[in-house]
Structure 1
Amino acid sequence: MKQTSAAMATAGIVYVLVGMTAISINDMLIKQLSGDYPLHQIVFVRSGVGILFSLILVQAEGGLSILKTRQPFLHLLRGLLVVVSNMTYFVALAVMPLADATALFFAAPLFITLLSIPILGERVGPMRMAAVVVGFGGVILMQRPWEGTAALDVNRLVLLLPVVSALTYALLQLMTRKLGATTRASALAVYIQAIFIVVSALFYVIAGDGDFVQGVSDPSLIFLLRAWIWPGDGDWIYLLGLGLNSAVIGYCLAQAYRLADAATVAPFEYVGLPLAVLWGWLIWNELPDWEVWAGMALIAGSGLFVFFRERAKARVVARAEVKARY
């Protein structure tokens, strides 16, 4: 049993590393396209392509019958949380440096650790709780509360959007842990893609003609509300890449949180931080300010402490269980 648990934890870590690499590519592509296309069009195309790849995975994991569920409301709620998490993050990403938005989003593993107490019944000791507090200190530092609004590069409300995204992402991953006990990862991915398609199609019906963007100057709102346009020939490769990435992300992250405890998997999501810095530097010649570097260090450091603390605690408990059998 112990070997099985260790193997499942290792598999969960591998899945989350692949998923986070795909997310970093996804963020880079969306930021690249945000100057020409509306967010809901990008999401519609991405999810339309992604659901095809996800259905292939469904077939491989047991066929269309695994899409049946006795918990449609919970799956709908999880899907809506994904939509909120993505929309708030991408709206911020359109006007923020990639590394800054990613760093603020990485409050998510801290939220996961904190919310795993009431939702999953996991135990979080005082040292891990202190590490979570330190990590949120990094989030506050990146919000630069001492700066006036005029001194910030973006609206302060926009700075909060990645944090809102992190909170909703944490909730959906904890729901994945509960739903994953009875639902395959490929089915979870299909449900999410389908909800994305429905929501983005509704955006098209309401705002696809671009009427709501008239007179709007805020670049985040323009990204959200501008009119749909037919993609240029050179952009189709990016949109298709987004679709494939979407399927990889949905499957890998769902699988990671199905196989392993949230507190074990979540810290490995921090691989997204150096990847975001790398993309920002290579493509947009952006490097984070000192507040972002310091915030990254606090958040990543606290997350890694939580991880190693959890692993050490797990080893102690395992030794105690072995002794108890004798």
Structure 2
Amino acid sequence: MTATPAARTHAAPVEPSGQTASSPLRGILFLIASTVVFSVADVITKQLASTLPPPEVAWMRYVTFALVAIPVVLAKGGPTLLRSRRPGLQAIRGLGMVGSSLLFIASLPYLPVADATAIFFVSPILIMALSVVVLGETVGWRRWTAAAVGFVGVMVVIRPGTGAFQAAALLPIAAASSWAVGAVVTRKIGGDHAFTTLAWSSLVGTFVLSALMPFAWVTPDTAEIAMGLAMGILFAIGHWLIVLAYRHGNASLIAPFSYVQLIWAGTLGYLAFGSVPDAWTVAGAGIIALSGLYTAYRERVRARQRALFRLTRSSGRPAGAGARCGCRS
């Protein structure tokens, strides 16, 4: 999703410092609202990508995003919120996010929004796999099985080896991979406020894409400029809704509702472009969603096991079976 974030941010949210969960229902509603906003932004992006180069479309998005996000960050905490304790990791994260946006946008002239969105939702599975390599996390057979099922869902959507296959379908997979790198790096960034990460994402994307503009520029007309501004503003609103969502609920509870975006992507794609997802896309999207939902469920179980283990250790009581097994799931 060009909202990278949204599966882009849904998959590995950056939770504001010092915030506690206060209303899970409110958090879920904020996240669902973000999926609507991101889906509208994706439809506008697809329209722009039909007449403008993808780097320019991404640049319009990031410049507008920065113009909205930076003043908000400064108003919330002043220049100190722009300072990162891990600038190198923030830069790598920003590169992962902007790469994801570029690759996803590049797919939209060739794929329906629903297809590109469905394929992109493989990102939580890629994040899980990278977490094993980069973060040393332990993943049991259940989640590996769910990951394999998710990849089957992707294959159902893109159908390699058939006449329905398009090489452009590989672009959302590459976009999801780039997003996964950024998301895993996010987990290694400690001590930075959510608004700091938001500011760095917008600035890194703006600088990188601005450097590309001399090589990929088509002068937009008035309508395209208006759409670009609307797209960037929606992008910023979507990210802000995600920040609000994770203020009000735990990530393991809220994140699965990001799959609602598959519904909006199909509906808005039909209303804007008349594209109806075929049975293969619907089936594949359903498999991907079920895989992701099960992975999120196992994450919640694992978190409870870790909490029980810590509780039993601190109280001196014998640990339960889940704790003894090292929370492997």
**Fold equivalence (TM over 0.5):** yes
Q: Which residue of 2 aligns with 1:298?
A: 287
CA distance in 2, matches of 1:130, 1:235: 45
Which residue, 261, 264, 269 being the options, matches 1:280?
A: 269
Aligned to 1:152: 164
Aligned to 1:86: 101
Separation in 2 of the partners of 1:162 and 1:122? 26
Give 1:196's aligned residue: 205
In 1, the alpha carbon distance for the partners of 2:21 and 2:248 equals 10
TM-fit CA distance, 1:99: 0.6
User: How far off is 1:9 after superposition?
Assistant: 7.7
Q: Summarize the Cα distance change of 1:19–1:297 in structure 2 as closer, same or farther, 3 Å threshold.
A: same
Relative to structure 2, which stretch is displaced further, 271-280 or 18-27?
18-27
- Counterpart selection for 1:312 from 297, 301, 321: 301
Cα distance in structure 2, aligned partners of 1:269 and 1:174: 18
Q: 1:163 aligns with which of 173, 185, 189?
A: 173
Aligned length: 297
Q: Note the C-alpha offset of 1:299.
A: 0.6
Q: Pairwise mapping of residues 59-74 of structure 1 onto structure 2 (< 5 A)? A: 59-74=74-89
SS at match of 1:63: helix
**Distance in 1 (alpha carbons) for counterparts of 2:130 and 2:20:** 22
SS at match of 2:77: coil
Query: Taking every aligned residue pair, what percent have the same amino acid on both sides?
Result: 31
Distance, in Å, in 1 between the alignment partners of 2:280 and 2:54 is 28
Instruction: Normalising by structure 1, report the TM-score.
Output: 0.79
1:294-317 Cα deviation digits (max 9, x unpaired): 111111011111222332343455
* Greater per-residue helix proportion: 1
SS in 2 for 1:62: helix
Paired letter, 1:109:
P
Pick closer, same or farther for the CA change 1:264–1:122 going to 2, 3 Å.
Answer: farther
1:184 aligns with 193
- 2:165 & 2:129 partners in 1: Cα distance? 31
TM, length-normalised to structure 2: 0.79
* Distance 1:84-1:27 versus aligned 2 partners, 3 A rule: same
* 8 Å CA contact retained: 1:54, 1:189: yes
Unpaired stretches in structure 1, ≥5 consecutive residues = 209-227
The whole-number CA distance in structure 2 between the counterparts of 1:101 and 1:264 is 25
8 Å CA contact 1:135–1:303 kept in 2: the answer is yes
Unmatched 5+ residue regions in structure 2?
A: 1-18, 318-329
Equivalent residue runs for 1:16-165 within 5 Å:
16-147=31-162, 151-152=163-164, 154=166, 156=167, 158-165=168-175
Aligned-residue offset at 1:20 = 3.2
